[in-house]
Structure 1
Amino acid sequence: MTRPPGGVPPRPPGKPPARHAPFQVERQSFRRRRLIDAACALPLLGWVLWWLPLLWRGADAPMPASLVLVYIFGIWLGLALAAARLVRLLKGANSAAAPPSGGEGP
């Protein structure tokens, strides 16, 4: 058989086209990447939640500053707890993905 000008050899008649294997990622590495994505999105979520009190101006009565401060520090505490949880989950995902060491230790 001769090759066409494009350089791709023709497929023999009656043979189905070659199928490529689907791209699959191991479950652990997929989970680890999603955790990293969540860790990267956490500061953006915090920024949006911290600026949310600026939208409260439309109320008839002004919002007391004490409630706004409780809200801001509550968001800060929630972000710190979420970051700590993500760090623990990432450490667990890293230790599960790491190959076992050859030696048993000293």
Structure 2
Amino acid sequence: MGKQTTEMLKGILEGIVLAILATRRAYGYEITTWLRDQGFTDIAEGTVYALLVRIEQRGLVDVQKVPSEKGPPRKVYSLNAAGRDYLDEFWRTWSFLSERLQQLREGGSS
């Protein structure tokens, strides 16, 4: 990924992770693997874990510790009602911005 892609991704990664958690419960490594499988190859595990800590602190997810076959229990994250509200706002903002960018790309305004 280029520098521009990396910078843009920083601004929307939280929304992407919340969208993943809206579809299923997951732990940090699982989320990182899914992102890499989708082509976000430069995302570091540490970036995802730091983001998960922030959204947990903000009360957007519920966390359950689940025993792991290897090592300490895993923290499994699921989106809660506050997280769903926040994700809804993210999608409204995304729609607004993408519509405006498309208008700019097409050379006009409406």
Pairwise same-fold verdict (TM > 0.5): no
Shorter-chain TM range is 0.3 to 0.5
**What is the TM-score of this pair, normalised by structure 2?**
0.35
Higher strand content, 1 or 2:
2
**What is the TM-score of this pair, normalised by structure 1?**
0.36
Higher Rg of the two aligned structures = 1
Which has the higher relative contact order, 1 or 2, with Cα contacts under 8 A spaced 6 or more apart? 1
